Structure 1
Amino acid sequence: MGMVKLIRMRVLSLLSLLVLFIPVAISVDDNAKSSMLLFMQRLSPGIVRHAGDNWGWNSSSDPCTGNWKGVSCDSTLQFVQKIVLEGLNFSGSLDADSLCIVRSLGVLSLKGNNLTGGVPGTISNCKHLTHLYLSSNNLSGQLPDGLSELGNLKRLDVSNNDFSGILPNVARISGLVTFLAQNNRLSGALPAFDFANFQQFNVSNNNFTGPVPDGKGLFGADSFGGNPGLCGNPLPNPCPSPSQHKSKKWSVSRFDAYFGYMIIGLLVTAFAVYKISSKLRQKKERNSTPKRKVRNQDITTTSSSGPNAYSSTHKNSENISEFSITSAESGASSLVVLTSPAAKDLKFEDLLRAPAELLGRGKHGTLYKVILNSGLIFVVKRIKDWRISPEEFDHRMKKVDQAKHPNVLPPIAFYCSKQEKLLVYLYQRNGSLFSLLHARRGREAVDWASRLTIAAAISDGLAFMHSKLREDGIPHGNIKSTNILFDEKAEPCVSEYGLMLAHRHEHPNRSTNKTPEQSESLSDAEVVYEATASRDGGFKDDVYRFGVVLLELLTGKMVQNNGTDLAKWVNSVVREEWTGEVFDGVLVSEGASEERMVNVLQVALRCISDVPGERPNMRVVTEMINSIKQEEERSTSSEIIFP
């Protein structure tokens, strides 16, 4: 019995020790909890008393196990890692003295409140902070030098406040990848930032002065604009040279000398104008004949207007006489009209006679807007540097024409010779997805339901074309927002399908939407795609590029904004478990479903996988997006409304 009693006593002692140990193992340090409560009291006085049980933040519960609002902890539930209290209308102040007692804190976000006062210098004691978001409050005063002592800081956002004074030297933080300070009253010179490390940077609309640090072209004028005292690249106003600061005293003799130079210049100019006018007059007389020589090729015309197919009163106009087009050329030499009823009576001479406006030049061709006498408006794309035979071009365009889908813009005619390839489309008046997303200029932004509808329509069109043209090895090859147009019914449609397969690979530093497998330089012997050798690869490229378009819809950011690679940026944010930062602020403010935006983001991330074999095909992508869209349609309208 004595032995049994002894065993019972030891078991009871062990249980007592466990009972004492368990609360300590799953609880945040009492000192840290008390400091957090004081921090909250300063942040919004009285909130703890009136917020209710769902709020937490009281002395009778634990920050990690008591569901304190906005608090996230580590896996052991002992250390507070994140405090995210956004858009809660707090009107108090930031108590860094209390906050920084929580040594484990890595993320603090208080953006979208009404906080006043400044940022205390004791913020430097928050040594583990990696993310600090204070944007869109009423904070003021000078940013403390203590910010520059946060050596672990990666992202700092103090934008849209009323901060003033000189910026602390946050450039000394080697790991900083985001710095946003736009829309304040900060002044003085900018520190010497190393922009090579940055993914986001903006100091626009302040009072900074002096030269812009050398950004190596990574960030554009929108990151520095609104600072009248700043100068140098990428701003339009150059910095003055030392000589410009010196006063210039003009003597009479110097004035006489400059006046003499001016007279000589006028005489030379007048003589040059006379010679040019004479040459133009002679050229006009030669053009009165119905036949002329262009690049050692004969062009026979049937009109008194000559071969000036793209002559126009527009300032951006070109002349088709620059083209090497001749009926004597071997290969296809006349306009091939496809099955579109809009072009059944179209003749090549109609294009030659019609006025044309130059819409733009790209890496792979020139685009013209052509208006016929009948009132029809076409877009003609002149393709250059395409190593493809006329026979293959003819086959490719006819195959694309046969695989019709309402969300894919079909070619209506084409011309192909050894030296020239022209492709004709109907002109789409409603512009592109790129302009809809990025060229707002006071217009209302595109809502979430419309963006989801666009994504579903484009994925459906691509999936259909992939299924019809896979055996022929004809993917799109260049999916991007500028190639997604809106027809007269505001329906999105993919343009230029099948025009990129035989093009040269892009230089890795020049492509605005390149896939990882295209990021390595190729030798001259490898610059041409072979449809049979990389049949599936081209379709996987389409999936990747479509994924980037999804990211553009979700983030509202350009694919390559001042050198920032959108796909890499999104991946880096997601890796840091800060997914909410990805989404366009417009969508967040309208109350778009975060759950469905995250679902679309997951689809996009699968599409942009670095491993082509891990990317889903377009049919699977379409099914996933349509499923998300069906959920959305239960509560919102999916009609596209153009701002």
Structure 2
Amino acid sequence: MSSPSKRREMDVMKLMMSDYVVDTPNDKLNEFSVEFHGPKESVYEGGVWKVRVELPDAYPYKSPSIGFVNKIFHPNVDELSGSVCLDVINQAWSPMFDLLNIFEVFLPQLLLYPNPSDPLNGDAASLMMKDKKQYEEKVKEYCERYAKNNGKSGAEEDESGEEDISDGQYTSSDDEIPGAKTEDESVIQALVTFMDNLVPGNISNTPNWGWNTSSDPCTSKWIGVICDKDNTTVKNIVLEKLTLSGILDIESVCKVNNLLVLSLNFNNITGNVGPEITNCKKLTHLYLSGNRFSGNIPDSITELPNVKRIVISNNEFSNALPDFSKTTSLLTFLAQNNQLTGPLPRFNYNQLQDFNVANNNFNGPVPDDTGHFDANSFAGNPQLCGNKLSVLCPVKKKKKSKFRDFVFYCGYVILGFIVVGLIALLVFKKMKKHEDVKSDSPKKTESDSGRSSGSRNSRPRSEFSVTSAESGGPSSSMVVLSSPVVNGLRFEDLLRAPAELIGRGKHGSLYKVRPDGGGPIVVKRIKDWKISRDEFKKRMMKIDGVKHPNVLPVVAYYSSKQEKLLVYEYQHNGSLFRLLHGSQNGQMFDWGSRLSLASSIATALAFMHQELQADLIPHGNLKSSNILLKNDMEPCISEYGLMPIDHPDPDQTNDRTTTTTFKIDVNRFGVVLLELLTGKPVQDNGSDLAKWVSSVVKEEWTVEVFDKPLIVEGASEERMVGLLQVALKCVNNSMPPSMAEVAAMISSLKEEEERSMTSSDP
């Protein structure tokens, strides 16, 4: 399910769990009606309207369409169709609002403060401006005529005729006898015990708070309690944003036999969720997001036979998740931003509509074999691996049967005897030939003897092993550039050193290597690059001749027909990708740091483009994982110019003009900027992220794209929007700016930020 669909369902469900009467004629939840009462102490007081609500596909990024079914006299409501002026809605709407805001804030404000200067009902607007007293009398007349019959339209009222409703024919929940109880005493006591453990604070002083043994949760309408339509049993408990603290007494609340929904979102509740949750047999929705819950998720939660939605995000839950593979009814599981560990258990991913476990400490492979959810659902778990993640899982060797192993071993033994025999025969012939040659040429140069001796030294082959023919050739030797880190490094040292695979991509692999007697270095191994040794050497020397403090230099390289090896200094602080999506290790990455990093990278790229323009050598593969952080947290670009350009547009691959050659770097830098601003990981060269940002900006909800920590810290929205505009210019494939222009624009934003910080200092 897409994000708008999930939001739509949650908002409609929240509205249905409120005190409003909601009528949903279809299962798609995109069109429904709500009973709305006129605001108290206004000319509309006492009126009851049926309000039609239509949700667009892009909700909440597009505002709902609302209209009054029965007539209302108002300047901004069309008298015939009942539609509310779209301009009025759009000016007030924000994606941060939900459907409750329409009926608790927007509509009351609309009725209390009409805008006659932008009317849909000209008569109402004209009358309001000319004679307000007469206007108010007209409003009351409409209320009395069209809105005093429980929301019936004028047509419905005319058809129904007069009705004689005697006292015996009509009752409502308000007519219940005070003190009468419909729930069992044991259930009421359990609910009171449940609330006693939550510490409600000042809200318990509210006159209609309830939650005591002397009243009934249904007939007394306890706050947060929703009963069935007959007011006989508790169905939902919704206690959101009430600053509740204390602990969750799940044992008590599960004594409510017919409980369907338990929602405690956005409070300050601590403790854990006990195994007694399995007693909530009918529970379908569990919402615990935005609290301080900790400890394990109990295994018994997987035994709930009817549970559809589990939302436990933004808490402090830890340890491993239970196995949800047999929880067949589950549609939503959101557990991002916790401290969960261990391997991910299996879920019915094909059935799930929403799934997110980002920003935890899970490890191992992602069990979503179908790829039903993208990398965003698993981001921020550095030890997870999978096809859609930045870290690929190591290939597991298939287990063979013992019999097959026995057969293979026997085969190996026989083959070994054959090989040994052949080697012995070859050695015998070679020695005989050597003796014949020696008799003809008794003198042998010392250098040849030394080289022959060296070639016989046996050592284990490493990841960087090449054929002896290649390693012996003069053109394939290790070239060490000026660096104290690898001073005296030889190719043989790399062969002997242990190598740890730390990254793999379509262009090659990355290894962390620690040579004897030296510190760690990084070796980039590139295979199948169709470039001659001489051309590769010239390319490396040209790149080495251009130095910039924010570009990580190659300190040594090796070239053969099959592969190329590039050696770099190891950077202990990791990459920008890890800082954004993995563990920050206590490092601050606020708006100022992000803007400064963007400026440094842009300046470095612009410098490299200028110096290497004549040689047509761009970076070619810029991304957040190739931007490393030095000891002082200054960024440095790694792997500059190591491969041919990876064009996202096939139409560009034959165009080798200077503009096109360097345009790919500008485009990729724009994606890095979007990653910095949104905090979202990049897939497929960033095209999906760029499309999403562009669509949100087009709908004029620009603030929605920014990373939440930036909004929380109060970063300058003006300068964030400025950097976003730079990013969108960069990802524009038709006419992107040059890196020099990009660097100048970002430098200007940085100067504005610094001036702002200086002026705000006391």
Instruction: Report the secondary structure of 2:543's partner residue.
Output: helix
Match of 2:751 in 1: 630
Rate the CA distance shift 1:137–1:120 in 2: closer, same or farther, 3 A: farther
- Check if 1:326 corresponds to 2:447: no
| TM-score with structure 1 setting the length | 0.56
Rate the CA distance shift 1:439–1:536 in 2: closer, same or farther, 3 A: same
Pairing 1:60-459 to 2, within 5 Å after superposition: 80-84=90-94, 94=100, 97=103, 101=107, 117=224, 137=241, 160=289, 189=329, 203-204=334-335, 211-213=348-350, 222=358, 233=369, 269=405, 302=454, 306=458, 308=460, 310=462, 318=463, 320-321=464-465, 326-327=470-471, 332-440=475-583, 443=586, 446-459=589-602
Rate the CA distance shift 1:225–1:234 in 2: closer, same or farther, 3 A: farther
CA contact (8 A) 1:190 1:213 kept: no
Instruction: Report the secondary structure of 1:619's partner residue.
Output: helix
Structure 2 residue corresponding to 1:474, chosen from 617, 620, 633: 617
Match of 1:603 in 2: 726
CA contact (8 A) 1:388 1:502 kept: no
Alpha-carbon separation, structure 2, partners of 1:285 and 1:352: 30
CA contact (8 A) 2:528 2:563 kept: no
Alpha-carbon separation, structure 2, partners of 1:285 and 1:410: 51
CA contact (8 A) 2:334 2:357 kept: no
CA contact (8 A) 1:382 1:422 kept: yes
- Give the letter for the 2:673 counterpart: L
Pairing 1:571-610 to 2, within 5 Å after superposition: 571-610=694-733
Structure 2 residue corresponding to 1:542, chosen from 665, 672, 675: 665
Instruction: Report the secondary structure of 1:213's partner residue.
Output: coil
Residues 481-490 or 345-354, more deviating: 345-354
Instruction: Report the secondary structure of 2:557's partner residue.
Output: strand
Alpha-carbon separation, structure 2, partners of 1:571 and 1:159: 33
Alpha-carbon separation, structure 2, partners of 1:160 and 1:489: 37
- CA drift at 1:498: 0.5
Match of 1:68 in 2: none
Alpha-carbon separation, structure 1, partners of 2:634 and 2:575: 11
CA contact (8 A) 1:136 1:159 kept: no
Residues 558-567 or 447-456, more deviating: 558-567
Rate the CA distance shift 1:444–1:421 in 2: closer, same or farther, 3 A: closer
Q: Which digits, 9 at most, give the CA deviation of each residue in 1:14-45, with x for residues without a partner?
A: xxxxxxxxxxxxxxxxxx9976999xx9xxxx
- Give the letter for the 1:447 counterpart: D
- Give the letter for the 1:306 counterpart: S
Q: Which digits, 9 at most, give the CA deviation of each residue in 1:476-505, with x for residues without a partner?
A: 0111000001123322100000112266x5
Alpha-carbon separation, structure 1, partners of 2:675 and 2:595: 12
Q: Which digits, 9 at most, give the CA deviation of each residue in 1:75-105, with x for residues without a partner?
A: x965554334969xx9xx9465456858999
Rate the CA distance shift 1:95–1:352 in 2: closer, same or farther, 3 A: closer
Instruction: Report the secondary structure of 1:552's partner residue.
Output: helix
- Give the letter for the 1:571 counterpart: S
Rate the CA distance shift 1:64–1:322 in 2: closer, same or farther, 3 A: farther
Instruction: Report the secondary structure of 1:302's partner residue.
Output: helix
CA contact (8 A) 1:309 1:354 kept: no
Residues 134-143 or 442-451, more deviating: 134-143
Alpha-carbon separation, structure 1, partners of 2:548 and 2:41: 60
Rate the CA distance shift 1:279–1:411 in 2: closer, same or farther, 3 A: farther
Instruction: Report the secondary structure of 2:92's partner residue.
Output: strand
- CA drift at 1:571: 0.9
- CA drift at 1:453: 1.5
Alpha-carbon separation, structure 2, partners of 1:536 and 1:37: 68
- CA drift at 1:167: 9.1
CA contact (8 A) 2:38 2:108 kept: no
| TM-score with structure 2 setting the length | 0.48
Alpha-carbon separation, structure 2, partners of 1:84 and 1:159: 25
Rate the CA distance shift 1:80–1:431 in 2: closer, same or farther, 3 A: closer
- CA drift at 1:362: 1.6
CA contact (8 A) 1:225 1:235 kept: no
- Give the letter for the 1:211 counterpart: N
- Give the letter for the 2:746 counterpart: I
Alpha-carbon separation, structure 2, partners of 1:620 and 1:135: 53
Match of 2:739 in 1: 618
Report the RMSD for the aligned CA atoms in angstroms: 5.6
Match of 2:137 in 1: none
Rate the CA distance shift 1:276–1:437 in 2: closer, same or farther, 3 A: farther
CA contact (8 A) 1:383 1:422 kept: yes
CA contact (8 A) 2:621 2:645 kept: no
Instruction: Report the secondary structure of 1:398's partner residue.
Output: helix
Query: Which entry has the higher C-alpha Rg, 1 or 2?
Result: 2
Q: Which digits, 9 at most, give the CA deviation of each residue in 1:361-399, with x for residues without a partner?
A: 221112222222231322111211212122221111111
Alpha-carbon separation, structure 2, partners of 1:301 and 1:37: 104
Alpha-carbon separation, structure 2, partners of 1:342 and 1:225: 34
Rate the CA distance shift 1:617–1:188 in 2: closer, same or farther, 3 A: same
Alpha-carbon separation, structure 2, partners of 1:233 and 1:223: 21
Match of 1:197 in 2: none
- CA drift at 1:558: 0.2
Alpha-carbon separation, structure 1, partners of 2:572 and 2:75: 56
Rate the CA distance shift 1:136–1:223 in 2: closer, same or farther, 3 A: farther
Instruction: Report the secondary structure of 2:565's partner residue.
Output: strand
CA contact (8 A) 1:484 1:492 kept: yes
CA contact (8 A) 2:501 2:510 kept: yes
- Give the letter for the 2:750 counterpart: K
Alpha-carbon separation, structure 2, partners of 1:451 and 1:83: 30
Alpha-carbon separation, structure 1, partners of 2:579 and 2:239: 27
Aligned length: 448
Instruction: Report the secondary structure of 1:345's partner residue.
Output: coil
Alpha-carbon separation, structure 2, partners of 1:120 and 1:450: 51
Rate the CA distance shift 1:321–1:339 in 2: closer, same or farther, 3 A: closer
Instruction: Report the secondary structure of 1:493's partner residue.
Output: strand
Alpha-carbon separation, structure 1, partners of 2:312 and 2:511: 42
CA contact (8 A) 1:433 1:482 kept: yes
Alpha-carbon separation, structure 2, partners of 1:83 and 1:119: 28
CA contact (8 A) 2:328 2:348 kept: no
Alpha-carbon separation, structure 2, partners of 1:635 and 1:385: 51
CA contact (8 A) 2:574 2:629 kept: yes
Rate the CA distance shift 1:167–1:373 in 2: closer, same or farther, 3 A: closer
Alpha-carbon separation, structure 1, partners of 2:227 and 2:41: 18
- CA drift at 1:338: 2.5
